[in-house]
Amino acid sequence: MKIRFFLLDIDYITEKKGLKIRLWGKTADGKNVVVFVQSNPYFFVFPKDIKKAQKDIEEILKGKNISVKGIEKIEKKLNGELKEFLKITCFLPQHTQKIRDFIKVLEKNRGGTGSIIEEYEYSINFYRRFLMDKRIDGNCWLEIEGEKLNTNYKVDLALNAKKIKVLEDISIPELKILAFDIETSEIAGEKQIVMASFYGKAFKKVITDQKSDYPDWVEVVKDEKELLQKIVKTFNEYLPDIIVTYYGDSFDFQVLMDRCQSNKVKLIVSRDKTETKFTRRARISSARLNGIVHLDIFNFISNILSPSLQTEVLSLDAVSSELLGDKKIEVDYQEMLEAWRKGKNLSKLAEYCLKDAELTYRLAEILLPQNFEITKTVGQILFDVSRMTYGQLVEWYLSRKASEKNEIIPNQPKYEQVLKRRKITYIGGFVKEPLPGIHEKIAILDFRSLYPSLIVSFNISPETLNCDCCEENGHKVAGLNYWFCQRKEGFIPSVIKELIEKRSQIKKKLKETEKTSLEYKVLYNRQYALKIIANATYGYFGFAGSKWYSKECAESCSALGRYWIKKTIEEAENKGFEVIYADTDSLFLKTKDGDIKQATEAFLDYINEKFPGMLELDLQGYYETGIFIPRGAAPGTAKKRYALIDKKGELLIRGLETVRRDWCNLAKEVQRKVLEFVLRDKDIEMAKQYVKEVVENIKQKQILLKDLIIYEELTKPIETYKQIGPHVMAAKKLRERGMEVGEGMLIMFIITKGQGSISQRAEPVEFVSLKEIDSDYYIYHQILPAALRVLQVLGVSEKDLVS
């Protein structure tokens, strides 16, 4: 039989009959499918003497009592040149590493015969290799021809595949998405789950074990064990395609797993009816549900989306506020504990819990299409891609393209190599310090994908560096003794060129496509996926753990970037512009006389004619007024410190406290208001008066405690911190009170009055009242520095703001 289905997940199983890949997905008419495919893992050996190497390998394996499925001679490109390799096909995924370790002794530098030079691709994940080999575009539509099977899985159809075809189809079937969230409380010295909430399309549910007068969507059970059983039952009855959490890898599923084990409840959610397991993904362990995708939105936001967000606080509340224009229901921790212990206000607690699941669901609705397009670009599945950093996305994209172009994928560097690389430095991008003060009628220009354009234009790739054929006439790097080949296109430039050209074609198509259509949304997300991968490639050259690491390539990109921004500044000044500020790939211009728009358009036409290759300068926007703060004008080290206001009165702020997480909300609000007084109203006196009022309110404690909370993330386990900052101290105090604290957790604390350093006086917000705050700390370390960051440039001093 033949079926079409949308791939959602992939894994593999080992049976008596051999190794099988499992493809899980959904048909257009809503049927859940699993497809079994026979496949075998393999790796490559680069021999010095191919016949001797094969003979030596066979001899070693005889003595080790391990067999291989086959050894064959093939041709692959290594550093752009076609070479002979041995392809060793194994029976099990774990055998690739094992056999590689056995035969490594044949290398000359290990005292062997020298018949082997190196082994490659032995550590590539088996199912990820399968996706690359079959040219499967991540979560995409597949056509399967095969035989129908019987299984006890929670699916409508199972097939043994004979043929697999990747289809061109931009649609996504209607998927059952279920958001999940839990609330916990300390009971009898243990963290227990007291509420669980679910939210899906036309579905909402809260389960709790404490009686009260609840709405009809709340189900009351007798104890925590029954609550856990009901959670498992809800998952299995709803049978979602995707389970969405916010911080679920590190909290919700971790706690759920622990409590299930303590209560002897089996956490069986997967479609193959096996218990939930945790698999390592980057720095975290992730809850893996076979056949059901667990999407932890926090990971994607933290790794990929955060640079484009205004907020640096990545809590569900802050992210929902920015992306959805909606917030959590306000309930502080003390109120929550009290509600639970005294059995009061439990209905509000249920609404609070459900709201978290609702916000998580709505975030998934807007972020899933983006995620799916990234999976199609990288060629891997949602579970993995949603947890990848920029560097990992680039690595898997390059690996996919290497497989397509018959290139050998370089090995992961050893730990010692990584440590050595981390010590190597080079000069970064050029920054022209801003002209301090207020400026009017500003144009911002930036290079369109500066580093990707330079990589393509100058053919920057490890194998094209300092080639023998182009020493005299290669692509020279200004200020460095490097050149890149003019004759043969490098692997990485060829890949990035495809990305840039694809994105350019999509952007043209977007202009002709109806904005409300499905096609527009898909194309927009696709060009975004192409953009983030192309822009991250330069950083990947210099990343110590990179498979395609090249300090020379990273340094060359940086040097060429500096050369062309300086050249552009020089040309702009020659054309009568005043360059207020420049940073890496952008320039801030104003004209000494004449119309800024007219002058800018003429300059763009002129300068783009002069640029080589794909290098191009774009208009980012026009702004009515802006304030620029030079480094050293006030405390702090951020290189980008400015605020601009456009014709609509909207603020664009960079590098100031309003967009940083380590300042309380009141300090951020003060700075934003000061910027509005200065840029919108052009009234410095009003700004000063406003700051004085806030200072007085703090002294009189006429403020809200929540506006004084400082947020800081624990980026590693508490024990590993050598410097004990306020957030680490607050985290320790939380743990001493029996609360679970771990890496990645956002710590919320208040600085209280009393003896000792600021760190010693940092207290978790849950245990502080307004009367305990250190007013002087908030005035002199938060409010005044935030205000003076703007006002000091305009001649205002601390004395002017404190009576």
Statement: residue 658 has pLDDT above 60: no
Mean pLDDT computed over 701-724: 86
Range with lowest mean pLDDT among 531-540, 607-616, 632-641, 669-678 = 632-641
pLDDT in the model for residue 636: 44
Q: How far is CA 429 from the centre of its chain?
A: 23
pLDDT-derived band of residue 780, with 50, 70 and 90 as boundaries?
very high
Mean pLDDT computed over 374-395: 94
pLDDT in the model for residue 100: 95
87 conformational bin, left if phi > 0, alpha if psi -120 to 50, beta if neither: beta
- Identify whether residues 619 and 657 lie together within a single domain: no
Q: How far apart are CA 540 and CA 391, in angstroms?
A: 6
Q: 3-class SS at 640?
A: coil
Per residue in 275-298, pLDDT (tens digit) is: 999 887 666 789 999 999 999 999
DSSP 8-class letter at 410: P
Contact yes or no for 409/415 (Cβ under 8 A): no
- Identify whether residues 124 and 240 lie together within a single domain: no
- Identify whether residues 207 and 90 lie together within a single domain: no
Number of continuous H segments (helices) and E segments (strands) in the chain? 22, 29
pLDDT in the model for residue 434: 87
CA dihedral of 3, 6, 9, 15, whole degrees rounded to 10: 10
pLDDT in the model for residue 332: 62
Kind of pairing, strands 116-120 and 32-38?
unpaired
pLDDT in the model for residue 594: 79
- Identify whether residues 154 and 205 lie together within a single domain: no
Structural domain span for residue 63: 1-174
Domain with residue 320: its CATH number is 3.30.420.10
Domain with residue 711: its CATH number is 3.40.1820.20
pLDDT-derived band of residue 659, with 50, 70 and 90 as boundaries?
very low
- Kindly write down the DSSP assignment for every residue of 453-487, as one continuous string: HHHHHTT--GGGBT-GGGTTTSEE-TTSS-EE-SS
Of residues 659 and 802, more confidently modeled: 802
Write the secondary structure of 327-390 as one string of H (helix), E (strand) and C (coil): CCCCCCHHHHHHHHHHCCCHHHHHHHHHHHHHHHHHHHHHHHHHHHHHHHHHCCCHHHHCCCCH
Q: How far apart are CA 561 and CA 447, in angstroms?
A: 10
- Identify whether residues 782 and 760 lie together within a single domain: no
- Identify whether residues 203 and 107 lie together within a single domain: no
Contact yes or no for 752/764 (Cβ under 8 A): no
Dihedral of alpha carbons 136, 245, 252, 210, sign:
negative
pLDDT in the model for residue 309: 83
- Identify whether residues 446 and 338 lie together within a single domain: no
pLDDT in the model for residue 382: 96
- Identify whether residues 563 and 607 lie together within a single domain: yes
Of 628, 653, 687, the residue that ends a domain is 628
Count: domains in the chain:
5
Percent residues over pLDDT 90 in the chain: 66
Residue 647 burial by Cβ neighbours in a 10 Å radius (0-12, 13-18, 19+): exposed
Residue 633 placed within a domain = no
Domain with residue 33: its CATH number is 3.30.342.10
Contact yes or no for 272/290 (Cβ under 8 A): yes
pLDDT-derived band of residue 134, with 50, 70 and 90 as boundaries?
very high
pLDDT in the model for residue 282: 60
pLDDT in the model for residue 368: 95
Contact yes or no for 343/194 (Cβ under 8 A): no
Residue 601 placed within a domain = yes
Structure tokens at 575: 């054309």
Burial string for 613-623 (b: 16+ CB within 10 Å, else e) reads ebbebeeeeeb
Contact yes or no for 17/1 (Cβ under 8 A): no
Distance (Å) of CA 31 to CA 24, 34, 268, 428: 11, 10, 21, 53
Per residue in 453-485, pLDDT (tens digit) is: 999 999 999 999 999 898 888 999 988 999 999
Residue 264 placed within a domain = yes
Closest CA to 548 of 413, 736, 666: 413
Report the predicted TM-score, pTM, of the whole model to 2 decimal places.
0.86
Residue 680 placed within a domain = yes
Residue 388 placed within a domain = no
Residue 536 placed within a domain = yes
- Identify whether residues 575 and 605 lie together within a single domain: yes
- Identify whether residues 719 and 682 lie together within a single domain: no
Residue 387 placed within a domain = no
Amino acid sitting at position 67: S
Domain with residue 695: its CATH number is 1.10.132.60
Count of C-beta atoms within a 10 Å radius of residue 534: 26
Mean pLDDT computed over 365-379: 94
Which strands, in side-by-side order, build the sheet including 177-187? 218-220, 203-208, 190-200, 177-187, 242-245, 293-296
Statement: residue 660 has pLDDT above 70: no
Dihedral of alpha carbons 139, 145, 151, 156, sign:
positive
Q: How far apart are CA 572 and CA 341, in angstroms?
A: 68
- Identify whether residues 740 and 689 lie together within a single domain: no
Of 328, 360, 378, the residue that ends a domain is 378
Per residue in 189-239, pLDDT (tens digit) is: 778 899 999 999 999 999 999 888 899 999 999 999 999 999 999 999 999
Closest CA to 466 of 457, 456, 476: 476
Dihedral of alpha carbons 636, 641, 645, 650, sign:
negative
Structure tokens at 330: 């306000």
Percent residues over pLDDT 70 in the chain: 95
> Please, what is the average pLDDT of the chain?
90
pLDDT-derived band of residue 630, with 50, 70 and 90 as boundaries?
confident
Statement: residue 635 has pLDDT above 60: no
Residues 6+ apart with CB under 8 A from 434: 580, 581, 588, 628, 629, 630, 641, 642
Beta partners for residue 468, in sequence order: none
Which strands, in side-by-side order, build the sheet including 710-713? 710-713, 746-751, 762-764
pLDDT in the model for residue 637: 38
- Identify whether residues 59 and 111 lie together within a single domain: yes
Residue 383 placed within a domain = no
